[in-house]
Amino acid sequence: MHKESKIKKNQEYSRREFFETSSKVALLGAFGGGFSTLFAQTQNPTNPNTQGAMMNLTNNAKANFEKLFGNTDVPLAQTDPEFFGNYVNFAFDEVIEHSHLELQERLLITLASLVAIPALNEYKTMLVAALKNGVSPVAIKEVIYQATPYVGFGKSIDFITATNAIFKAHNIALPLQPQSTTTRENRFEKGLQTQRELFGEAIDKGNAAAPKDYKHIRSFLSANCFGDYYTRTGIPLKFRELLTFVYILSMGGADAQVKGHVSGNIRIGNDRAKLIAVVTALVPYIGYPRSLNALSAIDEITLKPTK
């Protein structure tokens, strides 16, 4: 009996150890390569490459980086100290100096851009930083929901799944409070009303001029894109339109839509300076071609000669 009891105890321990290990692996997977390879605590903080990378950071870059991520002892500083120094000094010193955005606003805009690129690993890393710095879980979820009609359900589901795993790791109860304000019966009218608020009479003209064989797509825009998403609570309409500008410029290849949403932003109160600040904040993540295209769109819309 004693031997059988011992075997049973060992079997129970093995099962418990397996499930505990599996949980740890699952959690690591939720954070993904961005967190585990870039921002996880290094095992050798005295590595001379790490020390050299730290010495090459400006005071502002190091302070801003540590505010977001907690430390600068990261594996990337060991394996690629020059890359690490270039990234941190640029993104967390020079760019912040010239973009003039509040911290939580900057984090939400960055998350929105990473959804649209898409850059899932970096998104996971930045999401942890956002939670650490007081960004509302509701606002974070709304960033993904608002992205859906622009990036598609396929991408959104990946980001929702990753976000849910990180929320659970931070003991954030799911589901969050619902934010929808429309019904199946009124979503079209409320969406159309929102479109008119952002784009004026151009919406009705466009709807009237649309060929008959794809008028249903125009209806989709009103009911789904604007009715299902723009009308939600959690973040205000003015910021939703700013996020849409972020999604489209980050995706690339939609220059006409970038111009349209520059106009929508100007109409709702996000001025030229605000739009340029957003593009500036995103340069490290989207690169120069998309940034310069966005600036050209801003110039075209905001520097038009007045009649």
* HEC secondary structure over 48-74: HHHHHHHHCCCHHHHHHHHHHHCCCCC
Tens-place pLDDT, residues 68-124 = 998 767 888 889 999 999 999 999 999 999 999 999 999 999 999 999 999 999 999
Looking at the chain, how many residues does it have?
307
% of the chain exceeding 70 in pLDDT: 81
What pLDDT sits at residue 55? 72
- State the chain's mean pLDDT as an integer: 87
Q: State the chain's maximal CA–CA distance in angstroms.
A: 97
What pLDDT sits at residue 26? 41
Q: How many CA atoms lie within 13 A of 244 on its CB side?
A: 28
What pLDDT sits at residue 77? 87
% of the chain exceeding 90 in pLDDT: 78
What pLDDT sits at residue 296? 97
How far apart (Å, rounded) are the C-alpha atoms in residues 163 and 170? 11
Q: Is residue 151 a contact partner of residue 116, using CB atoms and an 8 Å limit?
A: yes
Kindly tell me if the per-residue pLDDT of 164 is higher than 80: yes
Calculate Rg over the CA atoms of the chain: 23
Kindly tell me if the per-residue pLDDT of 30 is higher than 50: no
What pLDDT sits at residue 74? 82
State the average pLDDT over residues 197-226: 96
Q: How confident is the model at residue 306 (pLDDT cuts 50, 70, 90)?
A: low
Tens-place pLDDT, residues 115-148 = 999 999 999 999 999 999 999 999 999 999 999 9
Kindly tell me if the per-residue pLDDT of 151 is higher than 60: yes
Nearest CA to 40 out of 66, 75, 65, 64 is that of 75
Higher pLDDT, 39 or 162: 162
What pLDDT sits at residue 49? 55
Burial readout 27-63 (b: 16 or more C-beta within 10 A, e: otherwise): eeebbbebbeebbbebeeeebeebeebbebbeeebbe
For residue 291, what are the contacts with CB-CB under 8 A and spacing of at least 6? 249, 279, 282, 283
Give the angle subtended at the CA of 269 by the CAs of 268 and 272, to the nearest 5°: 120
How far apart (Å, rounded) are the C-alpha atoms in residues 150 and 159? 14
Tens-place pLDDT, residues 241-286 = 999 999 999 999 999 999 999 999 999 999 999 999 999 999 999 9
Q: What pTM was computed for the model?
A: 0.84
For residue 258, what are the contacts with CB-CB under 8 A and spacing of at least 6? 245, 248, 249, 293, 294, 297
How far apart (Å, rounded) are the C-alpha atoms in residues 264 and 244? 10
Q: How confident is the model at residue 45 (pLDDT cuts 50, 70, 90)?
A: very low
How far apart (Å, rounded) are the C-alpha atoms in residues 172 and 29? 18
Tens-place pLDDT, residues 7-24 = 444 444 444 443 443 444
